[in-house]
Amino acid sequence: MKKLLTKIVPLIYGQFFNLYAFFAPQKAAHSAFTLFCKIRKGRVLPQQESFLETAKFDIEEVSGHKLQSYRWEGRRETVLLVHGWESNAFRWRNLIKKLKEADFNVIAFDAPAHGYSSGKLLYVPLYEETVHHMVKKYDPKFIIGHSVGGMTLIYNEYKNPNPQVEKMVIIGAPSEFHEIMEHYQDLLKFNNRVMQALDDYVFNRFGFRIHDFSASKYAESNKKKGLIFHDRFDAIAPYHASVAVHKKWKNSELVTTEGLGHSMHQEQVNEQIISFLEA
């Protein structure tokens, strides 16, 4: 029954948006965008509490949100960690262990609507404002992002290039916003009238078209040293996204894995990250 509902509910939303867009396209677009950005998972689970509680550091106020930050203190350079969609700072636990052993100063935080932070929605422009705040406040030398967090780091570097940041690590990140929205359309089966309304809505609100937002395009102006990880069989973010980013990002290295999945918590990945930061 649950599986059946999982298939049917998106189609009901899609048909609703189709009808709504016929009479009020911008209101339909707002509803479709809000549904797209709604976070359903990623709050702190009981088994995650003890790890995060001991590192709670400060409450960051960004764009009307109260965001929980964390610190694992070290004597070396500061590393900023940026998690992905429907996750939280706990996802970095394996890498944090390695960073602590190497005596790096580690800063992480829960994105809006994730972990202990406030909110119900997340979208990349909001996430970029958060990252920009964290970079300015904590002055990291290295920044590491997973999935949508990695996509946001590339966008932030394009919008707010910071000479203090020397190296970036991007793990399993998507690149093209239009691919994400096309997947959303395919899932809900809404028509092109709704998609056009969404495109207009995004442009009016954020100043770019759906096809304009491209991490690979943004990476072209990136002068940082970059290390990109992506699994060839990643079922969440397509491998070709990182191939495209690497092609445009002149000072980057692409590490292709097979069978490590989307999360990439494995020892071999974390050891390569430490080696890259220390080189």
Question: Does one domain contain both 14 and 125?
Answer: no
Compute how many other C-beta atoms are within 10 angstroms of the C-beta atom of residue 48. 16
Confidence at residue 7, expressed as pLDDT on a 0 to 100 scale? 75
Question: Does one domain contain both 134 and 197?
Answer: no
Question: Does one domain contain both 201 and 102?
Answer: no
Question: Does one domain contain both 33 and 13?
Answer: yes
Full DSSP string of 213-235: -BHHHHGGG--SEEEEEEETT-S
Question: Does one domain contain both 73 and 162?
Answer: yes
Gyration radius of the chain's alpha carbons: 19
What are 155-193's pLDDT values in tens digits?
Answer: 999 999 999 999 999 999 999 999 999 999 999 999 999
Confidence at residue 158, expressed as pLDDT on a 0 to 100 scale? 98
For residue 2, what pLDDT band results from cuts at 50, 70 and 90? low
Number of domains in the chain: 2
Residue position matching structure tokens 């096809």: 211
What CATH number is associated with residue 129?
3.40.50.1820
Q: For residue 123, what are the CA distances in angstroms to 25, 39, 54, 251, 270?
A: 21, 10, 29, 28, 27
Distance CA 216, CA 146 (A): 16
Question: Does one domain contain both 2 and 114?
Answer: no
Mean pLDDT (the chain) is 96
Write out the two tokens for 32. Answer: 């479709």
Question: Does one domain contain both 166 and 219?
Answer: yes
In which domain, by residue range, is 199 found?
1-37+177-206
Domain boundary among 153, 187, 206: 206
Question: Does one domain contain both 170 and 33?
Answer: no
User: In this structure, are residues 195 and 181 in contact, taking their beta carbons and an 8 Å threshold?
Assistant: yes
Stated pTM of the model: 0.96
Question: Does one domain contain both 148 and 192?
Answer: no
In this predicted structure, the answer to whether residue 234 has a pLDDT above a threshold of 70 is: yes
Domain boundary among 186, 206, 226: 206
Question: Does one domain contain both 80 and 144?
Answer: yes
